[in-house]
Chain A
Amino acid sequence: MNVDPGVVARRGERLGALLRATDPPVPAMVYPAERVARAARHRVVVRWRAAAAIAVLLAAALGVAPVRAWIVRTVRAVWSGAATRRSAPVATPSAAEAASRVAFTPAAMCDSPGV
């Protein structure tokens, strides 16, 4: 949509003037302290409930043999993965490997006389 920016600015100014002329008066608003405090308390309660629900679910799951086996397997896999990452040697070329490396430079061959 191509509209002259001047037209947009002018329309914006006129709309602004209309809005200001028709704005309702601002009422004497009071900070909703009690509702805010209740909301904050509710937030803490919800977090505790969520934590408790997770703990109960985990405890209940440990009582079921296949689930317990799966949890043990998963924890072991994660643990061994982390341990492997910690102890894995960093692959660095040895001095002998570095010395025996060969590099070809065809451009140099082409530049030499008689080729």
Chain B
Amino acid sequence: MPLAELFDRHHVELFRYAARFTGDADLAEDVVQDAFVRLAERPPADGSNLRGWLYRVTTTIAIDAMRGARRRAVLVRAEAARTPLADPAPDPGTALEREELRRRVREALQQLGERERAILLMREEGFTHREIAEAVGTTTKSVGTMIARALEKLARRLDLDAEDAR
């Protein structure tokens, strides 16, 4: 399949994944484009699981990009300015709430290790434990354990059990 078609098919989900992983939408955009350049430079020998390969490469590039960004100290960006043009302007209270929630989720995810974060976010994208294990280079069994552990950490930070406690 031509690369442009692959880009059309996968760039939205890869952007979503990269934005969640890095917590930075601008960086995520660059990361996704770099992943497709990497695909042109060094395509996978076995093209049977191209989607998994793209996520793996996106994760690697995202990790490098985040380290580079941290070194250059430009990671702090005004996320609040990124409001979709088509949406009606939210009232200041709602916008503030949403931004606060976005900050909390981003910070909670960034507290996880890179591998834990990748596993959790790939699960969110619908990958099976086996596919995740292949992508991050671990066993299927440890994927389950790492997901449970990561969710345990996030449950405390994001009150994921709040309704259960009531």
Q: What residues make up the interface of A, taking CB atoms closer than 8 Å to B? A: 1, 3, 7-8, 10-12, 14-16, 18-19, 21-27, 29, 31-33, 35-37, 39-40, 42-43
Residues of B within 8 A of A8 (CB): 147-148, 151
**Are B40 and A36 within 8 A (Cβ)?**
yes
Stretch at the interface among B2-10, B46-54, B67-75, B131-139: B2-10
Cβ-defined partner of A23 (8 Å) among B8, B19, B87, B123:
B19
B115 contacts partner chain A, Cβ-Cβ < 8 Å: no
A22–B7 alpha-carbon span in the complex (Å): 24
B95 in contact (CB, < 8 A): no
Say yes or no: A24 contacts B160, CB within 8 Å: no
Q: Check B40 against A24 for contact (C-beta < 8 Å).
A: no
Q: Are A11 and B82 in contact (CB under 8 A)?
A: no
Contact at B124–A19, with CB atoms within 8 Å?
yes
B100 → chain A closest CB, angstroms: 10
Q: Does B63 contact A (CB under 8 A)?
A: no
Residue of A nearest to B124 (CB): A16
The distance in angstroms between the C-alpha atoms of A35 and B32, with both chains bound, is 13
Closest B residue by C-beta to A4: B148
Q: Which of A1, A27, A37 is close to B29, meaning CB atoms less than 8 Å apart?
A: A27
Which of A10, A21, A29, A36 is within 8 Å of B32, CB to CB?
A29
Determine if B130 is an interface residue (Cβ-Cβ < 8 Å). no
Q: What residues of A have a CB within 8 angstroms of the CB of B149 in the complex?
A: 1
A36 to B25 Cα, complex, angstroms: 22
Q: Which A residues are in CB contact (< 8 Å) with B29?
A: 27, 29
Q: Is the CB of B123 within 8 A of A40?
A: no
Q: In the bound complex, do residue A29 and residue B20 qualify as a contact, i.e. CB atoms below 8 Å apart? A: no
Are the CB atoms of B105 and A18 closer together than 8 Å? Answer: yes
Chain A residues with CB under 8 Å of B160's CB are 10-11, 14-15
Nearest CB in chain A: distance from B48 CB, A:
22
Q: Is there contact, CB below 8 Å, between A11 and B151?
A: yes
